């Protein structure tokens, strides 16, 4: 008797009901888990007894959610340096097991750069005009004892014309900007004192801008402290098909007095293109291709997705 095998689509695993864009990207991550990592689907984080296609089990041990030269070392160094007063939170379960999370994405893109600052400098110079050197890369960065739980997903210490600066990025994958409106007197005081915005405070705290606004306050505060940084640059790092995030980033840039030069919207494809134009080792070039395949090349899983 002929045995009926599950389709490629079925082998990828369970998909929740959600927007078409997020569902397609989640499927691609499930495809990656199934056919590249050859791992079974892990437990659904919210529904006991269920699995979901974009989750691994045991990623803390296998480290299969991470790739690239030096990425695991960057993760281990970051986790070892964490303390209650060291900025934003890192959810290790999501970091090691959730392929759809932006936390492993940030390390997969920027972990190898943290371990090779000369390469980081060349990549950043191609994306952020005026940067002379990258001197350090920090993950989930916020000042000690900051006024809230906001943090840059990744922050780069940079130099330009002999001055030290901070380049902070908010990184997005499929998660939207938080719909919550945050409004405190601390925010108002900082926003007023820094004189960075061309719009009223009330416009800055609208839900669509709240994450970018609160991150911007971190950068403005660090420059005003005059202890380490003489200037700041900020930006949004996002998936190239996320039209909503890109539009939000461009709108926020227009709210800054010097936004045209200080705030940049960078897509994954722009990063990969800048990286691939450089003279790289084969290991680095393979990493660049893995970034493309996992985070941009939805066509690789299109055949399986079409079987639904």
Q: Over its length of 308 residues, how does the chain's per-residue pLDDT go in tens digits? A: 456 678 899 999 999 999 999 999 999 999 999 999 999 999 888 777 899 999 999 999 999 999 999 999 999 999 998 764 455 678 999 999 999 999 999 999 999 999 999 999 999 999 999 999 999 999 999 988 788 889 999 999 999 999 999 999 999 999 988 888 889 999 999 999 999 999 999 999 999 999 999 999 999 999 998 889 999 999 999 999 999 999 999 999 999 999 999 999 999 999 999 999 999 999 999 999 999 999 999 999 999 999 87
Cα angle for residues 189, 140, 174 (degrees, 5° grid) = 100
Q: Report whether 44 contacts 51 (CB < 8 A).
A: yes
Q: Name the 3-class secondary structure at 93.
A: helix
CA gap 100, 29 in Å, rounded? 7
Q: Report whether 141 contacts 155 (CB < 8 A).
A: yes
DSSP class of residue 116?
Answer: -
61 by Cβ neighbours in 10 Å (0-12 / 13-18 / 19+) ranks as: exposed
CA gap 304, 308 in Å, rounded? 8
Half-sphere exposure at residue 269, Cβ-oriented, CA atoms within 13 angstroms: 7
Dihedral sign, CA of 39, 275, 74, 209? Answer: negative
pTM of the full structure: 0.95
């Amino acid at each position: 008797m002929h045995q009926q095998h599950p389709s490629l689509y079925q082998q990828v695993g369970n998909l929740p009901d959600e927007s078409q864009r997020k569902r397609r990207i989640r499927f691609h991550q499930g495809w990656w888990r199934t056919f590249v990592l050859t791992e079974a689907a892990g437990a659904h984080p919210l529904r006991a007894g269920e699995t979901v296609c974009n989750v691994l089990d045991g990623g803390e041990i296998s480290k299969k959610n991470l790739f690239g030269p030096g990425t695991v070392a960057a993760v281990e160094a970051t986790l070892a340096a964490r303390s209650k007063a060291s900025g934003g939170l890192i959810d290790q379960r999501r970091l090691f097991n959730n392929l759809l999370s932006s936390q492993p994405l940030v390390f997969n893109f920027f972990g190898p750069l943290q371990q090779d600052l000369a390469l980081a400098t060349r990549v950043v110079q191609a994306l952020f005009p005026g940067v002379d050197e990258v001197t350090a890369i920090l993950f989930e960065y916020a000042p000690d004892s900051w006024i809230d739980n906001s943090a840059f997903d990744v922050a780069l210490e940079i130099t330009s014309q002999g001055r030290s600066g901070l380049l902070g990025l908010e990184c997005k994958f499929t998660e939207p900007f938080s719909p919550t409106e945050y409004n405190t007197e601390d925010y108002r005081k900082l926003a007023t004192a820094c004189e960075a915005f061309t719009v009223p405070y009330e416009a800055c705290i609208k839900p669509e801008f709240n994450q970018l606004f609160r991150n911007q306050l971190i950068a403005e505060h660090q420059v005003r402290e005059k202890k380490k940084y003489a200037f700041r640059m900020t930006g949004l790092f996002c998936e190239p098909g996320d039209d909503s995030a890109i539009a939000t980033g461009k709108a926020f840039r227009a709210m800054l007095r010097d936004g045209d030069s200080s705030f940049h919207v960078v897509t994954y494809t722009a990063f990969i293109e800048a990286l691939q134009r450089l003279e790289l080792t084969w290991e680095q070039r393979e990493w660049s291709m893995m970034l493309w395949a996992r985070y941009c090349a939805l066509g690789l899983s299109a055949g399986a997705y079409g079987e639904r």
